[in-house]
Structure 1
Amino acid sequence: MIKALTISLALAFPAGAFELALPVACDLGKTCYIQQYADHDPSAEADDFTCGSLSYDGHDGTDFALPTRAAMAAGVDVLAASAGTVLGTRDGVADFAAFPAGQDCGNGVLIDHGDGWQTQYCHMKQGSVRVSSGQAVAEGQVLGQIGQSGNAAFPHLHLSVRHNADKIDPFAPQTPLGSPRIGCGATGSELWRDALPYQPGGMLAVGISPAVPDYAAIKAGLASPDLPATAPALVVWGFMFGLQAGDAVLFRLTGPAGDVLTERSVIEKPQAQAFRAVGRKLKAAIWPEGRYQGAVILQRRGVELGRQSIEISVGE
């Protein structure tokens, strides 16, 4: 019975019938990343199209995220993923603020592409929407910018795709969201014109500071300026996403006199985003003056998911 139901719900879209281009003007995996995918588990649990953990219950789209609010402030354009006609827009919802009831999407754009296809773009920056209802848009046309309006915990574009009344995951469109899934992983029928890499977790930022930093400051885009030789401590921190219990975070800090620290931390519970920090207190009158290099590596079952490094000057 389950097998027959699964087959009856399968969708068959001819190759090239509808394709999507990347809807954000950033370098995926470098200056932006996918924080959450659509939820394919019809129960109260959640998993993404690979049967992985980058989703949450009921999530119906793809979240193209920026690593910090500083990146959002600099401005990253949201692009039409396919040509179509604008059905509706909303602007004027404040970023980083409580949102009015029924405005979870925040500032956004809804586009009709014909043949039952629609795309919706949510959480755009207040005041950035550049199109209006009834306007024809070309693929790649700027719609606005990535923001954090509506029900958004971090700066990102939430892209949702619909075909008629069905919510569709462009990474695995063979079954509507909420239906019994067919296998794990991409099947070659994804809607993206150019394949988008799946990154199960990784590094967002790294820094060196004189104390354990505030998490809000890291998410805002904390800089790592040069430090005086009398800094009370040297702390290496890493900001990460897609964490699972058992993931290992490796820290290393070296300076003119060699290794300052080498430590390993283990993640205890799943977290969409988190930071970890380790450091050494100043025990002499001053730190050896010169260049200091910090590095943070995220590993899962011995496989490296990402690494970032930074270099600052101390006392020079």
Structure 2
Amino acid sequence: MRFGLLALLSLAAPVAAGDLSLSSPIDCDLNGPCYIQQYVDHDPSPKASDFTCSGLSYDGHKGTDFALPTYDMIATGVDVLASASGIVAGIRDGMEDARYSSDREAEIKGRECGNGIVLRHADGWETQYCHMRKGSVTVSEGQQINTGYILGQVGMSGRAEFPHVHLSVRHDGKVVDPFDPDGTITCGETETDTLWSEDPSYRAGGIVTIGTSAAIPEFSDIRANTVTPPDAQSNALVMYAFLFGTQKGDIIRLSLIGPDGEIVERDTLLKRNQAQSFRAAGKKLKSARWPAGLYSGEVTLLRDEQIIDSQSLSLIMP
């Protein structure tokens, strides 16, 4: 089996886009609630660049990360699907689903992929599926499977800081970006030759989830979907947003309007790039209770004065 982190390999070797046809490896809508957090790194320097010359990658990243919005969806169960027909060439299962931290580096050394599967396809192609949920693998080594077959479920095993399935594609042992298989990057132009049967939409950053809370939440609670919701006697009423792929210069606009008018409206200018982040704003209670009725919240992500993403919600206070 080949499961650790592979050395950074050149993407320069041209491949024919028709040699392998891929479908999504996750049974979840990538326009929400799920999303692609990171792509293959095309920058040979210590910096990182995805196939659009944007920053949705990190140095040496060799695959595509299809992410769940919150940790609780691991327990709910989201299927990992075979992106192409092939033969099971390697399996690992039994590793815990635990968020990676530096004190676990020795524990997972050589097993950074976590629980996962390697599929071998025709003409020297391989796909690899990493960070799957403990005990979820459904296939056996040597088994022939078809596109869309359920391989297991999304988890957070190995070197994973959020729940996702990492898909690596290789041709004759070389890393291939399924969004740009020939490795020729032309910034500002739409890539037309890909390995996807249906291209997953590219989102250059966006909003993962939004919500209201009774206080400024901890990021860990947002990720775990354990934020305390507000009620009529809450000491504060807060609007929050969990975002991915934000860039320096982006503006996060948070607004919450109640039955008596505006609760909060705030623009925050971001000062650095962040793979994942959250922002929150609110107002303290100044009377016996919050007014009964409908509250409307909205979060907008703006980049270069253009709307990148927007989500809204409503809350009825009894």
Calculate the TM-score normalised by the size of structure 1: 0.91
Mapped contact 1:227–1:313 kept (Cα < 8 A): no
Mapped contact 1:172–1:186 kept (Cα < 8 A): no
Is it true that 1:311 corresponds to 2:311 in the alignment?
A: no
One-letter code aligned to 2:65: D
Bigger shift: residues 204-213 or 56-65: 204-213
Q: What residue is the counterpart of 2:273 in the other structure?
A: 270
Alignment of 1:26-65 (within 5 A): 26-65=28-67
Among 136, 140, 147, the residue aligned to 1:132: 140
Q: What residue is the counterpart of 1:205 in the other structure?
A: 209
The Cα shift of 1:313 comes to 2.6
Mapped contact 2:206–2:301 kept (Cα < 8 A): yes
Calculate the TM-score normalised by the size of structure 2: 0.91
The Cα shift of 1:22 comes to 1.0
Distance (whole Å) between structure 2 residues aligned to residue 105 and residue 187 of structure 1 = 29
Is it true that 1:145 corresponds to 2:172 in the alignment?
A: no
Distance (whole Å) between structure 2 residues aligned to residue 289 and residue 217 of structure 1 = 27
Among 237, 240, 251, the residue aligned to 2:240: 237
Is it true that 1:214 corresponds to 2:218 in the alignment?
A: yes
The change in CA–CA distance for 1:291 and 1:223 in structure 2 (over 3 A counts) is farther
The Cα shift of 1:226 comes to 5.3
The Cα shift of 1:43 comes to 1.2
Q: What residue is the counterpart of 2:6 in the other structure?
A: none
The change in CA–CA distance for 1:224 and 1:295 in structure 2 (over 3 A counts) is farther
Mapped contact 1:123–1:152 kept (Cα < 8 A): yes
Distance (whole Å) between structure 1 residues aligned to residue 266 and residue 197 of structure 2 = 42
CA distances 1:4-61 after superposition (whole Å, capped 9, x unpaired): xxxx944141x53211011110111112100000000111111000000000000000
The Cα shift of 1:310 comes to 2.0
Aligned to 2:121, the other structure's residue is in SS state strand
Distance (whole Å) between structure 2 residues aligned to residue 106 and residue 25 of structure 1 = 20
Alignment of 1:1-316 (within 5 A): 9-13=12-16, 16-96=18-98, 98=104, 99-175=107-183, 181-184=184-187, 186-222=190-226, 225=229, 227-228=231-232, 230-314=233-317, 316=318
Unmatched 5+ residue regions in structure 1?
Answer: 1-7, 176-180
Mapped contact 1:243–1:270 kept (Cα < 8 A): yes
One-letter code aligned to 2:117: V
Distance (whole Å) between structure 2 residues aligned to residue 182 and residue 310 of structure 1 = 39
Distance (whole Å) between structure 1 residues aligned to residue 56 and residue 257 of structure 2 = 34
The Cα shift of 1:293 comes to 1.6
One-letter code aligned to 1:203: I
Distance (whole Å) between structure 2 residues aligned to residue 211 and residue 182 of structure 1 = 45
Distance (whole Å) between structure 2 residues aligned to residue 168 and residue 28 of structure 1 = 21
One-letter code aligned to 2:42: H
Mapped contact 1:205–1:238 kept (Cα < 8 A): yes
Count residues with an aligned counterpart.
301
Distance (whole Å) between structure 2 residues aligned to residue 187 and residue 279 of structure 1 = 42
The change in CA–CA distance for 1:295 and 1:187 in structure 2 (over 3 A counts) is closer
Distance (whole Å) between structure 2 residues aligned to residue 126 and residue 93 of structure 1 = 6
Bigger shift: residues 263-272 or 104-113: 263-272
The change in CA–CA distance for 1:57 and 1:255 in structure 2 (over 3 A counts) is same
Distance (whole Å) between structure 2 residues aligned to residue 186 and residue 106 of structure 1 = 34
